[in-house]
Amino acid sequence: QKEVEQNSGPLSVPEGAIASLNCTYSDRGSQSFFWYRQYSGKSPELIMFIYSNGDKEDGRFTAQLNKASQYVSLLIRDSQPSDSATYLCAASYGNNRLAFGKGNQVVVIP
Amino acid sequence: SQTIHQWPATLVQPVGSPLSLECTVEGTSNPNLYWYRQAAGRGLQLLFYSVGIGQISSEVPQNLSASRPQDRQFILSSKKLLLSDSGFYLCAWSYGGETLDTQYFGPGTRLTVL
Protein backbone atom coordinates (compact mmCIF):
# COMPACT_ATOMS: atom_id res chain seq x y z
CA GLN A 1 0.00 0.00 0.00
CA LYS A 2 1.45 3.33 -1.06
CA GLU A 3 1.26 5.83 1.76
CA VAL A 4 1.25 9.58 1.86
CA GLU A 5 1.23 11.14 5.30
CA GLN A 6 0.14 14.57 6.34
CA ASN A 7 0.39 14.53 10.10
CA SER A 8 -0.10 18.14 11.09
CA GLY A 9 -3.36 19.12 12.72
CA PRO A 10 -5.44 22.13 11.65
CA LEU A 11 -3.25 25.15 10.89
CA SER A 12 -4.42 28.61 11.85
CA VAL A 13 -2.55 31.53 10.32
CA PRO A 14 -3.23 35.27 10.41
CA GLU A 15 -4.10 36.96 7.16
CA GLY A 16 -0.96 37.98 5.30
CA ALA A 17 1.25 35.36 6.99
CA ILE A 18 2.92 32.30 5.46
CA ALA A 19 1.21 28.91 5.78
CA SER A 20 3.53 25.90 5.62
CA LEU A 21 2.27 22.38 4.90
CA ASN A 22 4.31 19.18 4.89
CA CYS A 23 3.90 15.72 3.45
CA THR A 24 5.96 12.52 3.34
CA TYR A 25 5.55 9.57 0.99
CA SER A 26 6.57 5.92 1.23
CA ASP A 27 7.22 4.89 -2.38
CA ARG A 28 10.72 5.80 -3.53
CA GLY A 29 9.56 5.13 -7.09
CA SER A 30 7.09 8.04 -7.03
CA GLN A 31 7.98 10.57 -9.71
CA SER A 32 5.22 13.16 -9.56
CA PHE A 33 3.78 15.07 -6.65
CA PHE A 34 0.68 17.19 -6.40
CA TRP A 35 -1.06 19.62 -4.11
CA TYR A 36 -4.83 19.93 -4.29
CA ARG A 37 -7.09 22.33 -2.46
CA GLN A 38 -10.52 21.19 -1.30
CA TYR A 39 -13.13 23.57 0.02
CA SER A 40 -15.71 22.14 2.38
CA GLY A 41 -18.29 20.13 0.45
CA LYS A 42 -16.48 20.56 -2.86
CA SER A 43 -14.19 18.40 -4.96
CA PRO A 44 -10.39 18.77 -4.95
CA GLU A 45 -8.86 21.26 -7.37
CA LEU A 46 -5.26 21.18 -8.50
CA ILE A 47 -2.98 23.89 -7.14
CA MET A 48 0.33 22.72 -8.53
CA PHE A 49 2.53 19.76 -9.32
CA ILE A 50 6.25 19.19 -8.97
CA TYR A 51 8.50 16.56 -10.53
CA SER A 52 12.06 17.71 -9.78
CA ASN A 53 13.96 18.28 -6.58
CA GLY A 54 13.95 21.86 -5.40
CA ASP A 55 11.40 24.64 -5.43
CA LYS A 56 8.63 25.50 -7.85
CA GLU A 57 6.77 28.77 -7.54
CA ASP A 58 3.35 29.68 -8.91
CA GLY A 59 2.00 32.99 -7.72
CA ARG A 60 1.65 32.89 -3.94
CA PHE A 61 2.30 29.15 -3.83
CA THR A 62 5.67 27.40 -3.63
CA ALA A 63 6.07 23.64 -3.72
CA GLN A 64 9.27 22.05 -2.47
CA LEU A 65 10.44 18.51 -3.19
CA ASN A 66 13.23 16.51 -1.58
CA LYS A 67 13.29 13.00 -3.05
CA ALA A 68 16.16 11.84 -0.84
CA SER A 69 14.08 12.59 2.25
CA GLN A 70 10.78 11.64 0.52
CA TYR A 71 9.35 14.96 1.56
CA VAL A 72 7.08 17.47 -0.16
CA SER A 73 5.95 20.82 1.17
CA LEU A 74 3.69 23.68 0.18
CA LEU A 75 4.12 27.29 1.21
CA ILE A 76 1.30 29.78 0.87
CA ARG A 77 2.55 33.35 1.05
CA ASP A 78 0.38 36.35 1.94
CA SER A 79 -2.39 34.02 3.13
CA GLN A 80 -5.92 35.20 2.35
CA PRO A 81 -9.24 34.15 3.90
CA SER A 82 -10.03 32.46 0.56
CA ASP A 83 -7.11 30.11 1.22
CA SER A 84 -9.06 28.55 4.09
CA ALA A 85 -9.52 24.96 2.92
CA THR A 86 -8.15 21.45 3.24
CA TYR A 87 -4.94 20.81 1.30
CA LEU A 88 -4.30 17.34 -0.06
CA CYS A 89 -0.86 16.02 -0.96
CA ALA A 90 -0.60 13.26 -3.58
CA ALA A 91 2.22 11.11 -4.96
CA SER A 92 2.19 9.05 -8.14
CA TYR A 93 2.71 5.32 -8.42
CA GLY A 94 2.25 2.75 -11.20
CA ASN A 95 -0.31 3.00 -14.00
CA ASN A 96 -0.97 6.72 -13.58
CA ARG A 97 -2.38 6.30 -10.09
CA LEU A 98 -2.09 8.74 -7.21
CA ALA A 99 -1.98 8.07 -3.49
CA PHE A 100 -3.45 10.87 -1.39
CA GLY A 101 -2.79 12.01 2.14
CA LYS A 102 -5.70 12.70 4.47
CA GLY A 103 -5.19 16.44 4.12
CA ASN A 104 -4.39 19.41 6.30
CA GLN A 105 -6.97 22.01 7.17
CA VAL A 106 -5.84 25.62 6.91
CA VAL A 107 -7.78 28.45 8.55
CA VAL A 108 -6.76 32.00 7.68
CA ILE A 109 -7.83 34.45 10.37
CA PRO A 110 -8.70 37.95 9.12
CA SER B 1 -11.08 22.69 -22.85
CA GLN B 2 -11.91 19.58 -20.90
CA THR B 3 -14.96 19.22 -18.67
CA ILE B 4 -15.99 16.41 -16.36
CA HIS B 5 -19.56 15.84 -15.25
CA GLN B 6 -21.01 13.70 -12.50
CA TRP B 7 -24.58 12.95 -11.58
CA PRO B 8 -26.51 12.94 -9.47
CA ALA B 9 -25.01 15.58 -7.19
CA THR B 10 -26.64 14.11 -4.08
CA LEU B 11 -28.36 10.83 -3.39
CA VAL B 12 -30.09 9.29 -0.39
CA GLN B 13 -30.67 5.56 -0.67
CA PRO B 14 -31.91 2.84 1.70
CA VAL B 15 -29.68 -0.05 2.67
CA GLY B 16 -29.98 -2.89 0.18
CA SER B 17 -30.98 -0.70 -2.75
CA PRO B 18 -29.00 -0.57 -6.02
CA LEU B 19 -26.72 2.26 -7.08
CA SER B 20 -25.65 3.78 -10.34
CA LEU B 21 -23.41 6.85 -10.54
CA GLU B 22 -22.32 8.27 -13.85
CA CYS B 23 -19.31 10.27 -14.94
CA THR B 24 -18.60 11.72 -18.39
CA VAL B 25 -15.66 13.66 -19.72
CA GLU B 26 -15.73 16.12 -22.62
CA GLY B 27 -12.96 17.61 -24.67
CA THR B 28 -10.44 14.77 -24.65
CA SER B 29 -10.10 11.28 -26.07
CA ASN B 30 -9.02 8.04 -24.44
CA PRO B 31 -8.64 9.48 -20.95
CA ASN B 32 -7.69 7.47 -17.90
CA LEU B 33 -10.71 7.47 -15.58
CA TYR B 34 -10.87 6.98 -11.82
CA TRP B 35 -13.47 6.50 -9.10
CA TYR B 36 -12.61 7.60 -5.56
CA ARG B 37 -14.54 7.61 -2.32
CA GLN B 38 -13.98 10.11 0.44
CA ALA B 39 -15.60 9.09 3.73
CA ALA B 40 -16.06 11.59 6.53
CA GLY B 41 -12.73 12.35 8.18
CA ARG B 42 -10.82 10.07 5.84
CA GLY B 43 -8.65 10.53 2.80
CA LEU B 44 -9.38 9.80 -0.83
CA GLN B 45 -9.63 6.07 -1.45
CA LEU B 46 -9.11 4.88 -5.02
CA LEU B 47 -11.85 2.39 -5.90
CA PHE B 48 -11.43 1.72 -9.63
CA TYR B 49 -9.45 2.99 -12.56
CA SER B 50 -9.69 2.46 -16.29
CA VAL B 51 -7.23 3.03 -19.12
CA GLY B 52 -9.69 2.19 -21.91
CA ILE B 53 -13.14 0.93 -22.87
CA GLY B 54 -13.98 -2.23 -20.96
CA GLN B 55 -10.70 -2.13 -19.02
CA ILE B 56 -11.36 -1.84 -15.31
CA SER B 57 -8.94 -2.35 -12.44
CA SER B 58 -10.20 -2.66 -8.88
CA GLU B 59 -8.16 -1.34 -5.99
CA VAL B 60 -10.27 -2.44 -3.05
CA PRO B 61 -12.54 -5.50 -2.80
CA GLN B 62 -16.05 -4.41 -1.92
CA ASN B 63 -19.66 -4.61 -3.10
CA LEU B 64 -19.11 -1.96 -5.77
CA SER B 65 -18.35 -2.45 -9.46
CA ALA B 66 -17.41 -0.15 -12.32
CA SER B 67 -17.92 -0.18 -16.05
CA ARG B 68 -16.70 1.87 -18.99
CA PRO B 69 -19.14 1.34 -21.83
CA GLN B 70 -17.85 4.28 -23.89
CA ASP B 71 -14.52 6.07 -24.17
CA ARG B 72 -15.52 9.01 -21.98
CA GLN B 73 -18.14 7.41 -19.75
CA PHE B 74 -17.46 5.74 -16.42
CA ILE B 75 -20.17 4.18 -14.26
CA LEU B 76 -20.04 3.08 -10.63
CA SER B 77 -22.62 0.53 -9.53
CA SER B 78 -23.78 -1.59 -6.65
CA LYS B 79 -26.46 -4.25 -6.45
CA LYS B 80 -27.06 -3.78 -2.71
CA LEU B 81 -25.85 -0.77 -0.78
CA LEU B 82 -24.40 -1.01 2.71
CA LEU B 83 -24.35 1.69 5.38
CA SER B 84 -20.57 1.83 4.96
CA ASP B 85 -21.01 2.89 1.32
CA SER B 86 -21.98 6.39 2.42
CA GLY B 87 -19.50 9.03 1.32
CA PHE B 88 -18.44 11.53 -1.28
CA TYR B 89 -17.82 9.81 -4.61
CA LEU B 90 -15.43 11.52 -6.96
CA CYS B 91 -14.67 10.77 -10.58
CA ALA B 92 -11.38 11.97 -12.02
CA TRP B 93 -9.61 11.88 -15.37
CA SER B 94 -6.06 12.17 -16.61
CA TYR B 95 -4.51 12.18 -20.05
CA GLY B 96 -4.19 8.65 -21.33
CA GLY B 97 -1.06 7.19 -22.83
CA GLU B 98 1.24 9.89 -21.44
CA THR B 99 3.56 10.20 -18.53
CA LEU B 100 1.67 13.11 -17.03
CA ASP B 101 -0.16 11.93 -13.93
CA THR B 102 -2.22 15.01 -13.17
CA GLN B 103 -5.78 14.09 -12.30
CA TYR B 104 -8.73 16.42 -12.59
CA PHE B 105 -11.81 15.86 -10.48
CA GLY B 106 -15.49 16.12 -11.20
CA PRO B 107 -17.91 17.88 -8.83
CA GLY B 108 -18.70 14.66 -6.94
CA THR B 109 -21.77 12.80 -5.74
CA ARG B 110 -22.64 12.83 -2.05
CA LEU B 111 -24.24 9.49 -1.17
CA THR B 112 -26.05 8.84 2.09
CA VAL B 113 -27.17 5.29 2.80
CA LEU B 114 -29.85 5.03 5.49
pLDDT per position as a tens digit, B26-41: 999 999 999 999 998 7
Residues of B with CB below 8 A from A97's CB? 34, 46, 49, 101
| End-to-end C-alpha distance for chain B, whole angstroms | 38
Residues of A with CB below 8 A from B43's CB? 88, 100-103
pLDDT at A72 over 70: yes
pLDDT at res. A57: 97
pLDDT per position as a tens digit, B49-106: 999 999 999 988 678 999 999 999 999 999 999 999 999 999 999 987 666 679 999 9
With an 8 Å Cβ cutoff, are A95 and B101 in contact?
no
Separation in Å, CA of B43 to nearest CA in chain A: 4
In whole numbers, what is the pLDDT of chain B averaged over residues?
93
Report the distance separating Cα B29 and Cα A25, nearest Å: 31
